[in-house]
Structure 1
């Protein structure tokens, strides 16, 4: 598909369309987040057998808290990532604009995407300040725009106005910045590519998210798409340093035999043909280049879904399989102007609940089109990190236990200690004491308040532990207080 160029400041209709899209998006963003955009968690799990994968998976499980960065063309107008290209009935676009015109306008955002303030070290600083330990970066979303210097297509960040910037190969420098801080590195990659003529072929309409032609009839075209996908992932595995996680999105692109009643119940359109990208071949190559790499082939239960990924939700109970809740800080994954962000206390409460139930939490953050993370986001990340600086012992390197929750108190454990984490309402002042009836400390145990590092008085009466809050904290407004005692 050839793109017509659109220059900012010279095309008022381009700007007017942007404004209209933003108005519409504010109106229906909540509906989008509640419908097909959400990836359900598969309930089947197949544990990996490779010792190196199991070792890395255990290391990842100890990290607990990561950053998911959605960044691409969608940041320019500040709209939902990729999905407005998709012609399904839950998607809204500007009235009076033909669908094909919209797609052409969207593709042409590549001619104006120029993130002159891109500073990946500042991103890594913000994540470190938040207490995060790993990162997952969108090398390519469903729209097919590549945030790395792939040689398989010209639709990429290194082929636009940013191409002469020393850090034009964005993914390379993001990974390097986070790697310098000892973060585990995750490469997000979309299996569907709506810009590719081997996925969405211009010969036919594009009625939904799936390949728009009969793959059984055009096997050579789908083989070309398999090769394209393999070659792009091959580049990421060989040219971008150590990668710990290959985070594959677009779970509807899957072998037909993996579509079961559970998948059908999710409501996404399912074609009559297999959209198999040949994961065995990809996996063999990836693990040869990156021994022990973790695969998160989202929702496709089997050997390439090494951990499960419930989206925008926390499971109702403890899960024994490796899992990760991916939750956006705002209502949206990418940058949208005037987005409504969660408070730092809500994020901390989510993290505590996720960890107590045995999972990791991946918090979504969207940089602006100029490359900067919004200041409000940076501030919230610091607030989260400030709490973790004092209470992180109750989070990192812990595991879930059977009695993991009692009302607003959650419990975690490591090899030596048990932790009780009491989540407080945002307008609640710290009371004089807390109590719980499960996970009773042994007689004579010392209980320590992690916020102060000091031991506290406690007593056991009628099967209930009552813990005194240090005087210095009484009346303070804190998101949560964590206490530790020996197992």
Structure 2
């Protein structure tokens, strides 16, 4: 029902799956105490048991690929569940086990091969074009990177998506405090300006509902994107990506967008200065959510935009304002 509801609204859908399964006796074997979040026995010492876990994992994921309609993304968490060559294990022992008083780290460097290449092939036979994110596992099955609860300082040379907790934790937290509208809009602009995507985590409660703070946050996003979405959706990097408070993006048609990130209670300034770009001859300069062109003048290699007093007093949205230049030099 959840997948269908999002598809109905035109969304791509992705299935989350945690490769480690602490409820499976084939991952946490009752014969041994759990030492950390990893498998609590050596899969190479007990191959029959490990193979049952691999079979269990494949069956679970194939159920997702066959019983829930068209799937766009398979998002696999728990990167430590992966094939590790013996050389890597040996190196880890040599470099990471020095000075470790217990065996706590041992399971983190054990080979946990779930035959991912085979699994991905089976998935794509059922779901052609499937994007697979085998998080934190270097190789062909990690189709894009997923920085967790952080934003890279600079653009990355490959596809990426920051996964960010919107409030509380990854799972349900009673009384969770959600990020403010300003924080959320600025976060989105920062990520998109650097060429990334934002995956915003909202944890449902025991009855499947969200806390009011989550709805309030999404309303803030919706109101802002209704006016400024063209600066975000389908956009590309526009170097240098950011100048002071201004984040830059570029549309597919070549339009440039300059997103002014306002401080708390900051009024719309009378002028906005851009140093790295200038409108081309005959270009229009507008503010999304308003009518008419804005006046501007050259300034060095850049330009200065004048904001009319009527817009300063009554801006079209909160938190961040977007100046559009339909053609830059």
Question: Scaled by the length of structure 1, what TM-score is found?
Answer: 0.62
Distance 1:424 1:270 in 2: 48
**Which deviations, in whole Å up to 9, do the C-alpha atoms of 1:30-70 show, x marking residues without a partner?**
xxxxxxxxxxxxxxxxxxxxxxxxxxxxxxxxxxxxxxxxx
Would the alpha carbon gap of residues 277 and 453 (structure 1) be closer, same or farther in structure 2, given more than 3 Å must change? farther
Q: Offset of 1:407 from its aligned partner?
A: 1.1
Distance 2:310 2:19 in 1: 53
8 Å contact kept, 1:252–1:270: no
Would the alpha carbon gap of residues 217 and 354 (structure 1) be closer, same or farther in structure 2, given more than 3 Å must change? same
Q: Corresponding residue for 1:294?
A: 131
Question: Is structure 2 residue 283 aligned with structure 1 residue 448?
Answer: no
Question: Is structure 2 residue 56 aligned with structure 1 residue 228?
Answer: yes
Question: How many pairs were matched up?
Answer: 313
Would the alpha carbon gap of residues 484 and 214 (structure 1) be closer, same or farther in structure 2, given more than 3 Å must change? same
**Which deviations, in whole Å up to 9, do the C-alpha atoms of 1:261-300 show, x marking residues without a partner?**
89x88x9945353101110111111000000100010010
**Which deviations, in whole Å up to 9, do the C-alpha atoms of 1:110-141 show, x marking residues without a partner?**
xxxxxxxxxxxxxxxxxxxxxxxxxxxxxxxx
Q: Corresponding residue for 1:182?
A: 10
Q: Corresponding residue for 1:435?
A: 273
Q: Corresponding residue for 1:204?
A: 32
Distance 1:201 1:337 in 2: 31
Give the number of the structure with larger relative contact order, counting CA–CA contacts within 8 Å between residues 6 or more apart: 1
8 Å contact kept, 2:230–2:251: no
**Which deviations, in whole Å up to 9, do the C-alpha atoms of 1:396-419 show, x marking residues without a partner?**
011113311111111111232111
8 Å contact kept, 1:451–1:481: no
Q: Corresponding residue for 1:240?
A: 68
RMSD: 2.1
Question: Scaled by the length of structure 2, what TM-score is found?
Answer: 0.90
Would the alpha carbon gap of residues 234 and 217 (structure 1) be closer, same or farther in structure 2, given more than 3 Å must change? same
Q: Corresponding residue for 1:42?
A: none
8 Å contact kept, 1:307–1:323: yes
Segments of structure 1 that go 5 or more residues without pairing to the other structure are 1-172
Segments of structure 2 that go 5 or more residues without pairing to the other structure are none
Would the alpha carbon gap of residues 294 and 455 (structure 1) be closer, same or farther in structure 2, given more than 3 Å must change? same
Question: Is structure 2 residue 145 aligned with structure 1 residue 305?
Answer: no
Alignment counterpart, residue 195 of structure 1, candidates 23, 35, 41? 23
Q: Corresponding residue for 1:336?
A: 173
Q: Corresponding residue for 1:107?
A: none
Alignment counterpart, residue 218 of structure 2, candidates 377, 381, 391? 381
8 Å contact kept, 1:320–1:358: no
